[in-house]
Amino acid sequence: MKFSVVKFLISAISCFSFILTMAQPIGKVIEKQTIKSTVLGKDVNYSVYLPADYTSSERTYPVVYLLHGFTDDNTAWIQLGEINRYADKAIADGIIPPMIIIMPNGDSSFYINTYDGKENYEDFFVNEFIPSIEKAYRIKAEKKYRGIAGLSMGGYGSMIISLKHPDLFVAAAPLSAAVWDDNAITGMSEEDYNDEVGKLFGRDLKGKARLTKTWYDNSILKIVAEKKADDLKKVRYWIDCGDDDFLTKGNCLLHIALAEKKVPHEYRVRDGVHNWTYWRTGIVEALKFIGDSFR
């Protein structure tokens, strides 16, 4: 008899938990949308997360531009990061406000303009993509309701774009960002340099010859060093990188550079490496930081 009661209670609890799970509002994912880019001379794909009440309301929403990493595409944050599941729960729990999340395909552009002008992704993103997106969806098209985040290459992208365009974003949350100092660039192997960043800063360069004008124009540490503290304070920053990540040194240097200028920012070093487990477990806190900035 006791055994039957226990089984009944377990079944009842399981059923109740299932009902609660099913009752959680589910947002809409549009995995593939396309924008025709005049700047890039090609079509660019992007993915969209719309909060659960988007289709039933007439309100406008804040937006976060969420950038993927090197070798991935616009679907990575959905397929590997499960961003829709995390956003649904965080919104339902009141951790983050309902928001639209836009995930553009950045290829391997690092979201900047290349030295030879063949791929001006930064120009596309700022002058073409954001305005088009904010006309296509019910978005609060103002700095105070616009955030940017990303991982690895996308972490670099979210940091560099917000540094160069502080008038556009209230907050930025780079995760495991590709932040390099001069020594990291000059010390890269020829293969790594050409495969990863040669097309950005200048191909087949060695040593200090790699420290081109394009490199310095897009060096996060260089820009922070040269900008006035008051200008750096125009964007709220959340910086998060694992203690065993190969990019932890650059992120630490960024933290130190901001701290020395007394620029308020959040800096997190959690246990982890450069992988999706780290990013999935960090994205809600990053979105919460951005969401609090909206408020």
Q: Are 170 and 62 in contact (CB under 8 A)?
A: no
Report pTM.
0.92
Q: What is the pLDDT of residue 234?
A: 98
pLDDT digits (tens, 9 = 90+) for 235-273: 999 999 999 999 999 999 999 999 999 999 999 999 999
The CATH H-level (homologous superfamily) assignment of domain 27-180+219-294 is: Alpha/Beta hydrolase fold, catalytic domain (3.40.50.1820)
Check residue 22 and give its pLDDT. 55
pLDDT score for 295: 84
Q: Report d(CA 161, CA 167) in Å as an integer.
A: 10
Helix axes of 83-92 and 276-294: crossing angle, nearest 10 degrees: 40
CA distances from 268 to 27, 70, 173, 240, 244 (A): 29, 22, 11, 5, 13
Q: What is the pLDDT of residue 24?
A: 82
> According to the model, what pLDDT value does residue 73 have?
98
pLDDT at 13: 61
Residue ranges in the chain whose pLDDT is less than 50 = 1
